[in-house]
Amino acid sequence: MNHMNHSLSAAIVALLIFVASAVGGPTAEITLRDHVQLDKSVVRLGDVAEIVASDSRRANELAGLVLMPAPAPGTQRFVTRREIQDLLAAHGEKLGLLRLAGRDRVAVVSQPVAGIEPAGQEEIIAEVSRRANRPAGRALNASMPMDTQQRQRLHAEIENSIANYLADRTNQNDSWQIKFDLAERHLPQVQTATTAFVCSGGQEPWLGQQRFVVAFATAEGEVQVPVYAEVARPEPVVVAIRAIERGATITAADVELSSSDQMSVASKHRGACKSVEEMIGLEASRSIQPGDVITTSDAKAPLLVKRGEEITVTTQGGGVRVRTTARARQDGANGDLIQAESLATRDRFDVRVVGRGEAAVFTSHGAELARQPATTRNAARR
């Protein structure tokens, strides 16, 4: 009778899921069990949950998803609902189409191997691990903690797979900077990989916080794990290729655009120049050594007008264009607004530097210059 009630309930749930899927709702209900006993080497979704889907094919597909290696024989571990959600996402499942119910965590117990004391299980695990990893040349024991060298090697392999994936998607073979920490719970899976890692996921523009999925094969089948990474790409910066003295004019032979091994330096100099063309013709404001990243504070426009020297001032207004001579009261580069002093009246007014020893003033001071003697205006007029 209980079996009939259970079958009837499952049928009703399946019918509801089918109706929900037709209107865009969940396509499967996954009810987590309280605990499960295993006599196999991997844990699949069907081991820890009852799955009811809109059709049997979909239910079998979900049930076969590999979650993690099984605990060592004679031991147990807990897997939480959150961990299962992450693993489903890593398999490419859309969580919005799945409804997780039941327990918040499942106790997974591995049965001891018959005839062998629990204390001797480690030797069996080590041998199984060696055999499973032999095709890929690995000699890692999935049941034992990894040493620093093993972690670094696996980290480098995953980083390389992500970098190759980014280069393929963007057609840019720059030195990608990828920072990530692999979740501790995924290390046993990564240890048992028998093939190279293959990366997928992420999204344009491929920079900043990214979520990738790294897939690989094990002796028990394919496994996918999520990898959350911070991705950056070195930006080109202008670098000195020979010494430049302070006050010297920067030429094309002094600098070049570079991105190799300059990311950390450029990040410290937020004002790093990124165009050689913008640097050419500027004046070095400090002594620059070969290899230095040049920032906006290291170069400035050369002075075209110096304080105290006589300059030619052009004014235009009312259809009249007048040139006269004045004295600069400030230094000025091209485009700078400085103060000048009339030689005739000693009055001061603002002018804009337009060339070496030349400045211009428009309209507002045209009348002031026009108040000079007519002979002066006529002599300066063109």
pLDDT of residue 259: 67
Report the Cα 123 to chain-centroid distance in Å: 43
Is 198 within 8 Å of 176 (Cβ atoms)? no
Q: Which ranges of the chain have pLDDT less than 50?
A: 1-4, 6, 8, 12-13, 15-25, 113, 115-144, 262-268, 364-382
pLDDT of residue 145: 57
Nearest Cα to Cα of residue 27 among 53, 59, 63, 66: 53
CATH architecture of the region 234-300: Alpha-Beta Complex (3.90)
Rounded-to-integer distance, Cα 65 and Cα 89, Å:
11
Residue 163 CB partners (closer than 8 Å, separation 6+):
176, 178
Query: Per-domain residue ranges for the chain?
Result: 2-110, 121-220, 234-300, 303-380
According to DSSP, residue 97 is labeled G
pLDDT of residue 169: 83
- 259 by Cβ neighbours in 10 Å (0-12 / 13-18 / 19+) ranks as middle
Q: Which amino acid is at 232?
A: A
Helix (H, G, I), strand (E, B) or coil at 216: strand
For 2-110, CATH number? 2.60.480.10
Length of the chain: 382
Rounded-to-integer distance, Cα 192 and Cα 171, Å:
32
The DSSP code sequence of 305-369 is E-TTSEEEEEEEETTEEEEEEEEESS-EETT-EEEEEETTT--EEEEEEEETTEEEEEGGGHHHH
| pLDDT one-digit tens code per residue, 88-123 | 887 778 888 888 899 888 988 887 645 444 444 444
pLDDT of residue 126: 45
Structure tokens at 213: 């999925």
Is 212 within 8 Å of 229 (Cβ atoms)? yes
- Identical topology for domains 234-300 and 303-380: no
pLDDT of residue 328: 92
- 231 by Cβ neighbours in 10 Å (0-12 / 13-18 / 19+) ranks as buried
Angle at alpha carbon of residue 366, lines to 364 and 369, rounded to 5° = 125
55-77 burial, b at 16+ Cβ within 10 Å, e below that, comes to eeebbebbbebbbbbbbbbbeeb
Radius of gyration of the chain from Cα atoms? 37
- The CATH class of 303-380 is mainly beta
pLDDT of residue 362: 63
